[in-house]
Structure 1
Amino acid sequence: MRKLNLAIAGTALLFAVGTASAQEVGDPAAGEKVFNKCKACHAVGEGAKNKIGPELNGIVGDKPGADRGGYKFSKPFQDWAADKTAWNEELMTTWISDPRGTVKGTKMAFAGLKKPDELKNVIAYLATFDESGGQQDPAEALKAAAAK
């Protein structure tokens, strides 16, 4: 009986950890609505092209400042990005919440998203796109980015 109780407790713990991890990822559907604030300058999905800002397919896990279809990043952004390994949730939160405060002299004129739920949701939305604009599991993309 004791072994059964331990097995049940272990299963409950695994379920709780798995549920917590899933809850940590924002809501991509809500993030799609938030992304409307970004669409004037950025695109995602199949056929996305650079606009005023770079297209963002596969951005989660990519190295900041990496080639985005020939997009020319500002020198201040390139300098800031030089020692960064990957766009993970933490780095994206810093950047999206205050681009001009994060990188003085950036070309990105957006004031930033200030609401934590909007940040989490738009990052989850961006994480749904692989490099070709196809769909991927945002939780897995964010997990892989965090490991880089």
Structure 2
Amino acid sequence: MGDLFWNKVFGAVLATALVVFGIRELGHALIHPHDPAEPGYKIAVAEDSGAKEKPAEAAPVKSLAQMLSEASATSGERTAKKCAACHDFTKGGPNKIGPNLWNVLGRIAGSHEGFKYSDAMKTFGKVWDYETLDAFVSSPKTEVPGTAMGFAGLKKPKDAANLLAYLRTLSDAPMALPSLPASTADAAAAVTEATQATHE
């Protein structure tokens, strides 16, 4: 092979290189790449105004005095049927598994004549006022640990208040209800009047 052949080969390689280089430069001339001002991608995030949703407010807890002012002795008499297997409610009635409950409000715990009380109840010895009796009928074994009474208690405060309203009627001289603050008393009176009006 002579010098002419190698000159052709060299010329072909050089021409190919020039074409490739030319295309590359032409591409750069037509398309202008640019770097972003900030690297990466921005992700839109909702701004936190700092205001958080307030949890739902619990209903205000009513005092025992308010519960009693709204209680129903009639409903309480129905609740008392749960106790009838162990207690008698009549004046001068007998003791059963539990003591007679006539005039129980105002009585000293563990003192009803003719009934054999547990040592725990005799030691307890408080007067059965509204607050003490409410605590006892709601959870007997919490209020008087060691009591022989097997009843688990009334779980709903409204049921306990109704029962107390009924027990209050079991007396020749019912114990006065606990007094209400003036504003609460006015509201309770309005509720009572509205209830009476609907039945007239």
Q: TM-score, normalised by structure 2?
A: 0.52
* Equivalent-residue separation in structure 2 for 1:74 and 1:63 (angstroms): 14
- CA positional deviation for 1:56: 0.4
Secondary structure, aligned partner of 1:63 = coil
Whole-Å Cα distance in 2 between the matches of residues 22 and 97 of structure 1? Answer: 14
1:77–1:22 Cα change, 3 Å: closer
**SS, match of residue 37 in structure 1:** coil
Question: Does the alignment pair 1:79 with 2:120?
Answer: no
Q: State the partner residue of 1:106.
A: 147
Change in 2 beyond 3 A, CA 1:143/1:109: same
Instruction: Please report the TM-score for the alignment, with normalisation by the length of structure 1.
Output: 0.69
Q: Secondary structure at the residue paired with 2:141?
A: helix
1:44 to 89, 94, 116: 89
- Aligned-pair identity in percent equals 37
Q: Which runs of 4+ in 1 moved over 6 A?
A: 20-23
Alignment of 1:54-73 (within 5 A): 54-66=99-111, 68-73=112-117
Compute the RMSD of aligned alpha carbons: 2.2
Hey, what's the Cα distance between the residues in 1 that align with 2:138 and 2:108? 19
Q: Is the 8 A contact 2:108 2:128 kept in 1?
A: yes
Residue pair 1:61, 1:142 contacting (<8 A) in 2 also: no
| Structure number, greater radius of gyration | 2
User: Which of 147, 154, 165 is residue 124 of structure 1 equivalent to?
Assistant: 165
Q: Which residue of 1 aligns with 2:135?
A: 94
CA separation of 1:27 and 1:73: change in aligned 2, threshold 3 A: same
Shift in Å, 1:77? 1.3
Q: CA 1:28 to 1:104, structure 2 compared with 1: closer, same or farther past 3 Å?
A: same
Aligned twin of 1:26 = 71
Q: 1:25 to 1:87 in 2, by over 3 A?
A: farther
Amino acid at match of 2:106: G
How much does 1:69 deviate?
Answer: 3.0
The AA in structure 2 aligned to 1:120 is A
Name the aligned partner's letter for residue 146 of structure 2: G
Asked if the contact 1:89–1:123 (Cα under 8 Å) also holds between the matched residues in 2, the reply is: yes
* Residues 67-111 of structure 1: per-residue CA shift (max 9 Å, x gap): x23101100111122xx2x21110011111111122222110000
- TM-aligned CA distance change 1:23 to 1:88, over 3 Å: closer
